[in-house]
Each structure stands twice: as structure tokens, then as C-alpha cells.
Structure 1
Amino acid sequence: MTGRTGRGCRIAAALLTTVACQPKAVGADALPASAERASGVVTWAASADHIGEGIAGRSYRLIVHTSVGGTGLRVRVTNAFGDRPLTLDSGYVGRSGRAALRPGSNRRLTFGGARTLTVPVGAVAWSDPLPGTWPAGTDLAVSLHTPDAAGPASGHLLAMQTSYTGPGDHTAEESARNWDWTTGSWWYLDAVSVRPSRAATGAVVALGDSLTDGRRSTPDLNRRWPDYLARRLHTARTEVKGVADEGVSGNQVLADDAGPSALERLDRDVLSQPGVRTVFLFEGVNDVKAHTGVTAADLIAGYQEIAQRVHSAGKCVVVATVGPFKGWPEWDPAAESVRQEVNRLLRGSRGFDALTDFDRVLRSPQDPERILPSFDSGDHLHPDDRGMRALADAVDPDHLNCAR
């Protein structure tokens, strides 16, 4: 199990809330309550990692989809994995589904009242609130310009969403004329929050791997299982309306591999998000199939540490069983034995606030070691759109609405 770094973070919160610490951990427990309240409730999020090299003079028009609606929209930009300060000299948010924006919707971002922001190495920063009402289930276009970017860039690699980029500063423009190139990643952006009309409204964060990240779901249609869950919660009788998808393809609970482990990134990606009431933990298959000697007891200990830290932050934890993956190249009877033991222990554990049996949802009755053929995207590990919907439908909204 890898250790966590950067627990002695420095937090400075004013109109500009900047979290400065080591790239792999932001100490959410050090975030002042006033800063968290000012940020409202997270309506969209995506875990950051190193996704490439920064390019000077580049603009990005990043398309994201809200879960809960409200006023006072804020965006969080990230330099968590940079090796030098990141400067953004222009930022806007408008309503869109493509490169062209709804006329009159583009709003300039400010940071502590300034139009230009420099984010320190290993830090994230919230914008000032924007005026107006921002509905649930809306595509936003967050446009950012980086005048002198270089070195490692932070963002989310597998967006399953087309965004746009190009040279020069075109962030204020509402037309699609100068957005000639596309990107499948979200650059320098890792969260959006709003202030819902009801003060009691909260959010759930889905902490997971590629199954939560939406790999093999249909791009540009928001068919990851957390997206389907957000649509369910919008009409459900629950105070939990916000959904943050913190899935990372290839992520493990215990080891840093495809980005920092779940244990490593828990504070920055999950506990620092505003308005979070519950964490939904669905991860572990990558630990199992990596054949690194991880035992069921090791993985359960990792889950329990996550639960303890989440509980210490005053939030609830729902854990999900590990789904089947027979037919995937790394499957073998030894890995299957660990998966089955993990699920057996989870079903009998009392260390979590609730359990959702995703294994039972996904597995085939004819061969419980395999994913149900009608849910199989074709690689025998990742569900297709129907499987994603089935996972969301299995989540009990009452379990998300718990309080500590």
C-alpha cells in the first residue's frame, strides 16, 4: 500500500480559494468551512492527472454537463501536476453542447476580482461566482486561455466528451469559427459548483476506475453510470442532487499506477469538493487483475481506510462489490478467487454506511464469473450503455441521503 503525501497543506481562502500543497494530496480537512460553503455544491467534477505538455498561446473550450442546478456558478482550475506556475489570462463560461455557444450566454470568469490567475505548482483555484441561474442537466462550455503554458499539464485524459482547442485567445467569442481542433480531454479544469435553491441540497462523489470513468460508453451522450444516476436523482425525492464523477481509467485502490491511487487522491478529488454528503466507492478490479500479490484482506483494509477518512470528514460511504471480468486478458482463477473473497467480505462488513451489489447487477446467471452478455461492451470488463444504466438503477437514493 502506498503512503499519502502532502498532508501538511497550506490553504488560503478568500474570494480566490487556492489550495497549495504537494501534487498528490490536497488536505480537505484543512479547508475552511467558510470556503466550502461559498463554493455551494459540486455539480460536475473529473479527477486530474498529468495529461500531456502545456502549449503557450492555446485556448480550450471544454464541454461539461451539470448535475444539479443553481446560481453563483464557480469553476475550479488545476495545476496539481504542473512543475511551474500556471497562468490563465482569460476565462469564460457559456451554455453550449458544441463549440458554438448560446448567444448572450458567455460570462467572463474572475478570480479574486482579477481577470488573470496564476495557479501555484500543485494547487487548485476556484473562480468567483458568476451571476445568473445555471440549470441542471445543462452542457456548459468553459473556455480558458493559457498565454505561456509549458511543462506537464493537469487535466482529465478520458473525457468521453468532445471539447475544442486552437491557437490564440478566442475565449470571449460565442461562434465556433476559430475552434478548429478537437480534444478528448479536459484541460486545466477539474470541478464546477453552484449554489442550489435549497440549502439542504448535497452531492455524491463516485470514486472509481474506468467503469466509473465511462470507458466504452457512447461518447458525447453522458452515458456513464454516474450520469444516469444524476438524471435519476434530479426527479427523486432526495436532498442529494449533485453528482461528481471521480473515476480514473486504470486506477487502483492501493497502488499508484494510472495516476495516484484512490487512497492518494481521496482528499483532493473527493473530500475537497463542496457540498459532498456521500462517497460512493466502486473500485478494486484493477488491484485484483494486476497480479501484484494483493490479497482480499489488503483490499478490504484499503476500503476501510477510505471509509474511516470519509467518516472523519463527517460524510457517509456506500461501497459497491467488484464486478466480473472473465474473458478479459488478465483474468485467471487466482484473480477470480480474490474478487470473490473481496465481495464476500464486503457483503458482511459493517464498516460502511451501505452496500450496493454491482457484482449481482452485472454478472451472468449462466456464468457468474462473466459479465451479462447483454451488458457487455465487448471487452468482458466494461458495461455498455445498458449496463451503465443498470448500475445507476441499482443505487438506492436513500443510501446517498444519509447523514453523520
Structure 2
Amino acid sequence: MFTTAWTASPQLPSEGFTPNWSREGFWRQSLRQAVRLTAGGGRLRIRLSNAYGTSPVRVAGATVARAAAGAAVEPGSIRRLTFGGALKAAIPARGHLVSDAAELAVGARETVTVTLHFDAVTGPATFHAQAFTTSYRGPGDLLTDPTGAGFGEVTESWYFLAAVEVDAGRADGIAVFGDSLTDGFGSAPGTDRRWPDALARRTGQPVINAGIGGNLLLNDSAWYGEKGVRRLGRDVLGHLGVDTLVVLLGVNDIGFSETDQQPTYRPAPVLQAAELVAGHRDLIRQAAAAGLRVAGATLVPFGGSGHWGEHAAEVSHELNEWIRCSGEYDAVVDLHRVLADPADPDRLDPAYDFGDHLHPNDAGHEVMAEAVADVLQAGQ
């Protein structure tokens, strides 16, 4: 039985937060991407997404290998991937493509690389904007290049790659669903210290990260992905081996109306707590219908950030109180409490503040993982 061991939620090609290759796409190039798995097994396969492509994307070849330093891979570990027995395939427009399983023994928390070769123009690429790890591009067919020397360009996004599945035979996976707080902003790039990574280490269970930086619960965005109530089915319920969902979402719905930095909303909608509660209830309903246990996390303190203001304070307090007290979530993780400054509970504890008064640093991500693990394990 296959289990999803890693994911990246697909996004519309866009400029995003940092320079990336999503709008230009790829042609006569190879792309090597490194991902850290949260479950191990003897075989693995990949899922490629062309969710936002209007034409099929031709994949001229694909390989998987154990990662080494930089773009290099472990000698002797490269495996050719096939698709229905063929070395070449096309990702359908608005669709996805799953490879055949390749024989490669991998362990939980091991990093693997997936290399894709594109011999035809891909057009704009469905991608995940904020990887917080390095991906590599080079000219020509570099599928079996073990040294990585041919990969001369770098980015911090993932392209087309939506999941890695392993034959772990497990059905106890945890999906975490949210925005940049879950996607990993504030954690040190290249270190896999996002709180979902730390949660996998603490629990020993498969954990898939379905966060998108800037994502909203109730509204689509050109940069920040489809709204949470719509994308849950694809980004969580469509994956294998998940039995628990953790939701941390809503701070952008509240905070975008307070900030001048609104690249996709001018002006941003001003929402009330009741609207956000209705969105959370929609997520609970969808997940419960799929048989998942659902835990709700309170919004972290964000006083003093660009998202903060009188309205944001009122709505965030009301939403957090509903999450804590309504009884509608199967379990509650009070991240607001564990991350709050003892001197001002509306602000992040300085020890956990990345510097923008909204995103936790590495220590804060570790505290978040500890709090989630404690609640989930107490309920087992």
C-alpha cells in the first residue's frame, strides 16, 4: 500500500514572493528537485501536476535518486522512472500524472531528488512558490548526471512535482493545511525545520505539508493559491494514507485588509468572524466526510505585524475563541497560547519571532510542532 510521504500544493504560475521560472517554463532543459520524505519504503513513485496548464506537458524522461550535496546524487542510486511502462509521457492539461513505482529503498526523513527532462516547450509551469530549499536547472538531458555539475541555475520553488509516494503500508498520515505559517516562512531555508517537518520527527508518522504562503480560507488569489475551502480536496483528501488533518488558516483573510501590501487585493475584503467560522465548518465537513479526524489550531499572535489593526484584533479573538470552545473540531491546538509573549498575549514571544511579528523562527516552529504532537498523541 502506497502512502504519500511528501507533497507541495500546486499554484498558478506567478511572480510570487521571489524570482522563479514558473511563467517562462522549460525547454530543452533538465530540472532537479530535492525533497525530504516523511515515510520510508522499498519502492516509490511521483505525482506530477499540470493543474494550471492549458496544454499537455511533455516529459521526455524522469529519474529519482538519493540526494547528495547540492545538485549531486548518491552514486549508483539513480533509477529511471516510467509511466505506464514508457520512458516518456505527457501530463494532461488541468490534470496530473503518476509514475510507475521504482525500486529504491528510502528511509523516513531521507532526502531524494527527482529529475525531469523537458525536450519540448512546457509553457507556464504549475509550481509551488516557496520551497525554502534549492532546485536546479541545466541545459539538455541531465537525467543521469550524478555530479550535478551540469545544473548551473538555481531557484527556491518546486515545479510540476506535487507528491512522492512510498510503499510504506501506513494509513496514519497527518496532513497540515494552512498558509505561510505552515508552508515554512521564518524557518531557515535548506534545513527542513518547518513545523510540519518537526512534527514528523516527533511523531514518527508520515506528515504532508499542504501550506501555501499567503493562502486564504475564503478567497482565491493570483499569487497565493486557490481558497482553502476549494483546494482541500486536491491538496489533502486526494492523497494516500492520511487519517488526520490539522487546520491553521485565516490570518491572511483577517490581515490583508489591514496592510498596504496587497499585491492581489485592492482593497482586500473586510471579513467578519462569522464568515471565517463558516469556512472552518466547511473544512471540517469535507474532512469528516472523508473519514479524517480534524484538529483546529488557533491563530498565532500577530500583534505589531503588518496584518494587525483594530478589526484584525477583534476578529482574530472571536475566531480563536470559537476554535477553542465550540467543540466542532475533534481536537484543538492552542498555538496562540504557546507562542504568546507573556507580557502581551497579542504578540509573539520575542524568543519565537522571526522578526516580522507574524512568523515564528526555527524555535517557534519547534514549539508549534511540540504542541500539535502533544494534542494528537493524547487523542490516540
What TM-score comes out, normalization by structure 2 length? 0.91
Q: Which residue of 1 aligns with 2:336?
A: 359
User: 2:3·2:170 contact (CA, 8 Å) conserved in 1?
Assistant: no
**Number of the residue aligned with 2:134:** 162
Relative to structure 1, the CA distance from residue 101 to residue 389 in structure 2 (aligned partners, 3 Å threshold; closer, same or farther) is same
Alignment of 1:18-33 (within 5 A): none
In structure 2, C-alpha distance between the alignment counterparts of 1:367 and 1:127, rounded to whole Å? 51
The structural deviation recorded for 1:151 is: 2.5
State the partner residue of 1:120. Answer: 92
- The amino acid across from 1:46 in the alignment is A
- Counterpart of 1:155, as a letter, is F
Taking a change above 3 Å as real, the CA distance of residues 158 and 141 of structure 1, as seen in their structure-2 partners, is same
Distance 1:79 1:401, change over 3 A: farther
Q: Which amino acid in 2 is paired with 1:220?
A: G
Structure 1: runs of 5+ lacking an equivalent: 1-36, 235-240
**1:41 corresponding residue in structure 2:** 3
The answer to whether the 8 Å contact 1:230/1:242 transfers is: yes
Aligned AA for 2:229?
L
CA RMSD of aligned residues (A): 1.5
User: Paired residue for 2:198?
Assistant: 228
In 1: Cα distance, 2:45 partner to 2:148 partner: 24
Tell me which residue corresponds to 1:94: 65
Q: Is the 8 A contact 1:154 1:187 kept in 2?
A: yes
Q: Does 1:286 align with 2:252?
A: yes
Tell me by how many angstroms 1:130 deviates. Answer: 1.1
From the superposition, tell whether residues 346 and 398 of structure 1 become closer, same or farther in structure 2 (CA, over 3 Å): closer
Query: What secondary structure is seen at the aligned counterpart in 2 of 1:368?
Result: strand
Following superposition, the deviation at residue 71 of structure 1 comes to 2.1
Q: How far apart are the structure 1 equivalents of 2:4 and 2:374?
A: 17
- Distance in 1 of aligned mates of 2:154 and 2:99: 25
Contact 2:43/2:167 (<8 A) preserved: yes
- 1:276 is matched with 242
Query: Percent identity of the aligned residues?
Result: 39
User: Structure 2 CA distance, aligned partners of 1:349 and 1:117?
Assistant: 49
Secondary structure of 1:158's aligned partner = coil
Alignment match, 2:360? 383
The answer for the alignment partner of 1:331 in structure 2 is 308
Q: Which of residues 120, 133, 143 is equivalent to 2:115?
A: 143
Query: 1:203 corresponds to which residue?
Result: 173
- Alpha carbons of structure 1 residues 200 and 95: separation in structure 2 relative to 1, 3 Å: closer
- For residues 106 and 373 of structure 2, the distance between their equivalents in structure 1, rounded to whole angstroms, comes to 27
1:349 matched to 2:326: yes
1:179 aligns with 2:145: no
- Cα gap change, 1:230/1:400 in structure 2, threshold over 3 Å: closer, same or farther? same
TM-score, normalised via structure 1 length: 0.86
Shift of 1:47: 0.5
Matching residue's letter, 1:252: L
User: For 1:260 and 1:354, how far apart are their aligned partners in 2?
Assistant: 26
Q: Say whether the 8 Å CA contact 2:331–2:375 is kept in structure 1.
A: no
Q: Deviations over 1:71-130 (max 9, x none)?
A: 221111110111110110110000014211100001011111111111111111111111
State the AA in 2 paired with 1:340.
Answer: H
1:369 partner SS = strand
Q: State the distance in 2 between where 1:304 and 1:400 align.
A: 23
Q: Quick one: distance in 1 between partners of 2:306 and 2:37?
A: 36
Contact 2:199 2:373 (C-alpha < 8 Å) held by counterparts: no
The secondary structure found in structure 1 opposite 2:206 is strand
8 Å contact 1:316–1:402 — kept in the other structure?
A: no
Deviation, 1:381, is 0.3
Contact 1:41 1:202 in 2 (8 A): no
Aligned length: 357
Aligned to 1:192: 164
Residue number in structure 2 paired with 1:215: 185
Letter in 2 for 1:171: L
Which structure 2 segments of 5+ residues have no match? 14-21, 258-268
| Cα distance in 2, alignment partners of residues 336 and 400 from structure 1 | 31
